[in-house]
Amino acid sequence: MQGISITGADMTTGGQEAEPRVAADPDAASPAGLARRIEHIALAQGFDLGEVRPRSGWDAGAEVSTDRGKVAVSPCTEDVFRIEIRRHRGFPSSEGWTNDLVAAVGVANLWHQGGSLRELHDRFPFMSWSELAQAFEDGDPAPVKWRELLSSEWHLRDRWLLQAAHAHPRLRKFWPDMSHRSLMLCRTPCDSESGLVKIWPLEEDRFRVTMTPGGFRREVSSLSAALELAAGCFASLPDS
């Protein structure tokens, strides 16, 4: 993970002039007010961000939709904003904190225009990203996810199952995750409809294997049988 600092990027004259006028809005701290501020700054900078929407919830703020996920901007304090690029469910592709809303709009614009994670960090050093996010961008995230799970102390008691599945030549190519001590293998990361197989350890050394879609469910009496059954489930999917 790259280092995180609270800082700002260089502000253009247009951005410096635009922001104070919008900040005078008594509703500027609300999600709708923040969305208006972002729209005003983008207009002053000549950026086309498309629709900027207010967002509610614990991380209330504003968001910009792109064809590579959403860029969310949330106020942390009166002067600091959190920017998060949400390209995949479960974790941010990149995040950072800055006291410069013009810089936050610059982040949204660069991502909207197709900038890479490295370009994002080079232009806005306060934006950090993980090895897994980079692996997604490079097109092969499964090996990094396997490495994270196999080295995680959180999943230490389930490491035997992870190790056995990773050692299987037909299973290690799939996207892994753990939930309630069951191993989940997905053909396409974060997309269960592409083909999701679960291996559940049961009592007395038995295992349950299920598959989505299709509603497949079977119990077997050994780990090796469960792994072979899981591999067979994936082989039965169309275009596998």
The whole-number pLDDT of residue 28 equals: 59
The whole-number pLDDT of residue 239 equals: 76
Q: What is the biggest distance separating any 2 CA atoms in the chain, rounded to whole angstroms?
A: 70
Residue 1 has pLDDT above 60, yes or no: no
The CA–CA distances, whole Å, from 44 to 41, 106, 115, 156, 216 equal 5, 12, 21, 52, 56
Indicate the average pLDDT of the chain. 87
Residue 6 has pLDDT above 80, yes or no: no
3-class state of residue 163 by DSSP: helix
pLDDT band at 19 (very low <50, low <70, confident <90, very high): low
Model confidence over 193-227: pLDDT tens digits? 889 999 999 998 899 999 998 889 999 999 999 99
Residue 90 has pLDDT above 70, yes or no: no
Sequential DSSP letters for 73-110: EEESSSS-EEEEEE-BTTB-SEEEEES-HHHHHHHHHH
Cα separation, 61 vs 30, in Å, equals 7
pLDDT band at 22 (very low <50, low <70, confident <90, very high): very low
Q: Exposed (0-12), middle (13-18) or buried (19+): which is 33, by Cβ within 10 Å?
A: middle
Cα separation, 142 vs 172, in Å, equals 8
**Residue among 28, 46, 50 at smallest CA distance from 37:** 28
Residue 16 has pLDDT above 70, yes or no: no
Model confidence over 43-58: pLDDT tens digits? 999 999 999 999 998 8
Length of the chain: 240
Q: 27 versus 66: which is more confidently predicted?
A: 66
Q: 79 versus 117: which is more confidently predicted?
A: 117
- The pTM assigned to this predicted structure is 0.77
Model confidence over 102-156: pLDDT tens digits? 999 999 999 999 999 999 999 999 999 999 999 999 999 999 999 999 999 999 9
